[in-house]
Structure 1
């Protein structure tokens, strides 16, 4: 439900911006970009602060804060009268970020370490399902009702998340006393493998940047390979959503496999698959080839995303889990900001195919970085 809430306004956010004034093409692009990225920029700053509070008050308290705050913020977006009010509301949304990262932290601390891969894989399935259904639901609601009513409905969904969390989520939590709270240096010193953990932060950022680097050009690329066909918009929707379907099916299975054979191995396999799959995407000659490769990319995502969460869970003491997962979310938010910028810059300097090549290089760098860190960890053991 949280995934739905986040993603269902995305298909019409730029159209909603357009309805708030008479803008030139350049102004519309600028304001749409600001409205999109504002949440992630604030989230990157706010997440570590909430993580510190989570270690003192518990993860459930943070879930309640995030869901209730987002419910009111999304509803307020339906009341704005100009674009700057919308951008401010999106900035405030970033302040109330952290539902997913705290859900990950809660699962990581409540589930036995040897089962954390499967549990976090299942949680990823929930998030991906919502992210997949959101744009479809949002587009349908906006066409039946209006943009403004859809924001109110989104607020109601997130209020339901608050109520469900309040009554059905239970946490066995021993608060860390304020006097015993570790500072940043203390948190790092408390980690068994700090280099590996920080490597996972960079990995999270690169995975997000890689997935989002092609977002600005994906529909344009589909239109290009379909030679301007009228069906390009429909197929662009399929191309955008197909990795999520693959992730949905594969994430719990690969999470469980990681618990059995080693999460690091599953992560490395995901990287290798991603590097190999991005390159041929640059040379496809029809849309079905792109759909097939994007489906395989979804399997790579299913190997990478839960594996990172599981490695963090298995290498983090419970008393600092909240902060570690919030730092990870900050890097994820940075990836959401950096990715589209990389994609836009590369596509203007080269062409659409160049974005896929550059993304493959980005994942390869990540593969080499993680390979080095996991080798050092195995040697230390």
Structure 2
């Protein structure tokens, strides 16, 4: 199968997947109160339960699905994830109680794994000299879907009610299922030469169960989890922080959503460029640069006292943050045999889910006991610490 065709199809799939998710998640509190009868006093508790239940289950299941992908086929696991996610969204549209919605989200965590499987497929089809560009484009598509989703979700919620958003998301994932069945072929690993294990990689290509013990893979998993902590440490307070700065501005909801999405717009534009930079200059270098620049601008984001200054810093953070995950994905792809990529990206997804569970708790504690602006200082500090660690570890790997 031609790698360009595969990239085009998977990029569209990623947009559908990402927009389906973000079309619903920001509006879950509204769904709980308007459709499921949750009172205003308990909606925050239920929102937290519903939101985090998926992360817990998917963190457990992701490595299992990844190992199965290497044994049974990555395309088969992508098909499984698409179909089950489609079913989960449909169930979300017919639930009548918050407990049922929680069970639906747990089932969604069980079904998850589409993104790591599509990454694994693409890293096998992509020529080595185009790996960074391909992963950058897919990361940009993931971010673009995150921008499109809330826009359509808000419109649908106002016009037809939240249940229609669930049914539309279900249809989009079922379309992904059909595309994977009829247009994507399982990579032929018999034609892919096995990657020889390097001295500093231990048994990276030996038994899949030992992959997490490979230093470079383990380090990238930790980095990925911490980066996900940064995302989720900031996201829950962004709209509240923006609203506080905007105060009595007209169209406050629209303005908050626009400022919130500026980082996503910037990331969607620059993710492919970061991929190209990493391809030509090295993915460790692109990762370090992205971490340092994003960390600096997170620090600067705590300083503006006007909405315009904050909006500019939000856009700037997106410009640099978008280079982190494509670099991590490419480093893992370069240091992993094609026959174990499913397991590796499953472990990566699991690490990100653990970070996603930790971030909101840490961010909420900082915002409550110290102040909201210190959340941005914490995010910047974490990214700069990761960058220092990456530089130190890279020196060890090169010796």
* 8 Å CA contact 1:69, 1:96 repeated in 2: yes
Residue matched to 2:382: 362
Find the counterpart in structure 1 of residue 19 from structure 2.
4
Q: 1:184 aligns with which of 200, 209, 214?
A: 209
Aligned with 2:54 (options 18, 39, 42): 39
TM-score by length of 2: 0.89
The answer for the alignment partner of 1:330 in structure 2 is 350
* Count of residues paired in the alignment: 371
TM-aligned CA deviation for residue 188 of structure 1: 5.0
Residues 125-144 of structure 1 mapped to structure 2, 5 A cutoff: 125-144=140-159
8 Å contact kept, 1:51–1:325: yes
Aligned to 1:315: 335
Show the counterpart of 1:154.
169
Shift of 1:230: 4.0
State the alpha-carbon separation in 2 of the partners of residues 224 and 7 from structure 1. 24
1:1-381 matched pairs, under 5 angstroms: 1-174=16-189, 182-185=207-210, 187-188=211-212, 194-379=214-399
Paired residues of 2:366 and 2:374 also in contact (CA < 8 A) = yes
Residues of 2 paired with 1:282 and 1:256: CA distance? 31
Q: Retained in 1: the 8 A contact 2:86–2:171?
A: yes
| TM-align CA RMSD | 1.8
Distance in 2 between residues matched to 1:293 and 1:334, nearest whole Å: 27
CA contact (8 A) 1:60 1:169 kept: yes
Take 1:372 and 1:98, find their aligned partners in 2: how far apart are those partners? 32
Task: Give 1:31 deviation, angstroms.
Answer: 0.4
- What is the CA–CA distance in structure 2 between the aligned matches of 1:275 and 1:39, rounded to whole Å? 28
Given that 2:212 and 2:218 are in contact with CA atoms closer than 8 Å, whether structure 1 keeps it comes out as no
Q: Secondary structure at the match of 1:214?
A: helix
Matched-pair contact (CA < 8 Å) for 1:213–1:359 = yes
How far the C-alpha of 1:338 sits from its partner, in A, is 1.1
Report how far residue 232 of structure 1 moved. 3.2
Deviation at 1:174, TM superposition (A): 3.6
**1:206-233 residue CA offsets vs partner (Å, 9 max, x unmatched):** 1111122111211111122223434432
CA distance, structure 2, for counterparts of residue 149 and residue 188 of structure 1: 41
Q: Distance in 2 between matches of 1:307 and 1:362?
A: 17
Specify whether residues 21 and 6 from structure 1 end up closer, same or farther in structure 2 by C-alpha distance, changes over 3 A only.
closer
Distance 2:326 2:315 in 1: 17
- C-alpha separation between the residues in 1 aligned to 2:82 and 2:355? 23
SS in 1 for 2:188: coil
Shift of 1:91: 0.4
Report the alpha carbon displacement of residue 337 of structure 1 after superposing the two structures with TM.
1.4
Q: Using the alignment, how far apart are the partners of 2:29 and 2:138 within structure 1? A: 30
Is the alpha carbon distance of 1:284 and 1:327 closer, same or farther for their aligned partners in structure 2, counting shifts above 3 Å?
Answer: same
Structure-2 change in CA distance of 1:120 and 1:341 (3 Å)? same
Q: Which runs of 5+ in 1 are unaligned?
A: none
For normalisation by structure 1, the TM-score amounts to 0.93
Listed as ranges, the gaps of 5+ residues in structure 2 are 1-15, 191-204
